[in-house]
């Protein structure tokens, strides 16, 4: 396991341990605790593993936990299905090649160009790789920014127009997208493309550091968004995301007016 991935595994386990109270796992809380959450020895005992071995996991040292051990830790730390899957990937994820920005196949470009509703394609780093005219009109700015800034996180967290567009829902949407990025970032933490992006967001977005420290994990999904467009007014959209079969790193997002 690459060193950066081991470090991500340890940080992820620690973040989940610190979120749980003794009462949440059925333990008495008799003594005042200097730090929030469960103690390492409590997690190890509840999971049925050695304390020293669990400490090595959190410290990012070279260990290879079994699936049974990972499942026990996920149960003790009250992980949902998305977090449990992320834990397994961090523990047994393959060594990654250097990141290269993806290319959208011509067939997918033609598909989104022919849609009469906003649609765009993102890559594993959440770069904006392709979009149609309807998306450009809704999310003003896709066409005007330099290619290196065409990224969902850069747009959402650093562009003042995005804050206005999402209005009161901006914080919730931004946290959701940061959690999506964190899920991939943990596997590519040592790659300059991911490290530079997270450093830029930490520097230029006041809220980012606190959200990043929470180590929330999310996947692309479906839902609704209410946007306050300067020309189109307040509009609510349902959105759905789809993964390309032949190019699993590509995600297609489609917005339907409600």
Q: List, for residues 108-162, the tens digit of each pLDDT value.
A: 999 999 999 999 999 999 999 999 999 999 987 677 888 888 999 999 999 999 9
Same domain, 66 and 116: no
Average pLDDT, the chain: 88
pLDDT in tens, 151-172: 999 999 999 999 999 999 999 9
Give the range of the structural domain holding residue 128, as residue numbers without chain letter: 106-257
Asked if residue 43 lies in contact with residue 20, where contact means CB atoms within 8 angstroms, the answer is no
Asked if residue 40 lies in contact with residue 51, where contact means CB atoms within 8 angstroms, the answer is yes
Domain annotation covers residue 97: no
pLDDT at 157 (0 to 100): 96
Domain annotation covers residue 99: no
Last residue in a domain, options 92, 119, 151: 92
Alpha-carbon distance of 81 to 34, in angstroms, equals: 30
Residue 4 has pLDDT above 70, yes or no: no
Same domain, 118 and 173: yes
Q: How many CB atoms lie within 10 A of CB 155?
A: 20
Same domain, 203 and 166: yes
Phi, psi of 237 (to 5 degrees): -125, 145
Domain annotation covers residue 22: yes
Q: What is the domain count for the chain?
A: 2
Same domain, 10 and 124: no
DSSP 223-251: EEEEEEETTTEEEEEEEEEEE-SS-TT-E
CA 12-35-216 angle, to 5 degrees, is 25
Alpha-carbon distance of 28 to 132, in angstroms, equals: 57
Last residue in a domain, options 57, 92, 127: 92
pLDDT at 190 (0 to 100): 84
| CA 109 remoteness from chain centre | 25
Asked if residue 227 lies in contact with residue 138, where contact means CB atoms within 8 angstroms, the answer is yes
pLDDT at 31 (0 to 100): 64
Same domain, 147 and 210: yes
Q: Is the pTM higher than 0.85?
A: no
pLDDT, greater one: 67 or 199: 199
pLDDT at 57 (0 to 100): 87
Last residue in a domain, options 32, 66, 92: 92
Cα separations (Å) of 228 from 102, 138, 161, 177?
31, 10, 10, 19
pLDDT at 218 (0 to 100): 87
Taking residues 237-255, what's their average pLDDT?
A: 93
Domain annotation covers residue 16: yes
Domain annotation covers residue 100: no
Same domain, 146 and 249: yes
Q: What is the CATH number of the domain that holds 142?
A: 3.30.450.180
Alpha-carbon distance of 18 to 38, in angstroms, equals: 6
Domain annotation covers residue 237: yes
How confident is residue 96, by pLDDT bands cut at 50, 70 and 90?
Answer: low
Same domain, 154 and 211: yes
Same domain, 139 and 232: yes
Residue 94 has pLDDT above 90, yes or no: no
The owner of tokens 């990012």 is 60
């Amino acid at each position: 396991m690459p060193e950066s991935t081991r470090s991500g595994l340890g940080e992820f386990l620690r973040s989940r341990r610190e979120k749980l109270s003794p009462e949440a796992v059925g333990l008495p809380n008799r003594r005042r605790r200097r730090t929030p959450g469960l103690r390492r020895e409590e997690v190890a005992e509840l999971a049925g593993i050695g304390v020293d071995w669990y400490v090595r996991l959190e410290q990012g040292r070279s260990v290879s936990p079994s699936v049974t051990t990972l499942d026990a830790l996920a149960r003790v730390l009250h992980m949902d299905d998305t977090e449990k899957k992320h834990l397994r990937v961090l523990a047994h994820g393959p060594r990654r090649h250097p990141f290269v920005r993806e290319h959208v196949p011509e067939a997918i470009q033609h598909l989104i160009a022919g849609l009469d509703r906003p649609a765009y394609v993102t890559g594993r780093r959440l770069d904006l790789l392709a979009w149609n005219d309807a998306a450009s009109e809704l999310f003003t700015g896709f066409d005007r920014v330099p290619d290196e800034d065409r990224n969902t996180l850069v747009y959402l967290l650093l562009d003042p127009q995005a804050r206005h567009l999402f209005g009161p829902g901006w914080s919730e949407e931004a946290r959701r997208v940061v959690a999506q990025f964190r899920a991939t970032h943990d596997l590519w933490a040592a790659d300059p493309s991911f490290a530079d992006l997270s450093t830029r967001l930490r520097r230029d977005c006041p809220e980012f550091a606190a959200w990043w420290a929470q180590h929330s994990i999310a996947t692309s999904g479906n839902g609704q968004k209410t946007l306050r467009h300067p020309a189109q007014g307040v509009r609510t959209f349902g959105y759905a995301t789809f993964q390309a079969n032949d190019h699993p790193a590509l995600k297609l997002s489609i917005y339907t007016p409600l």
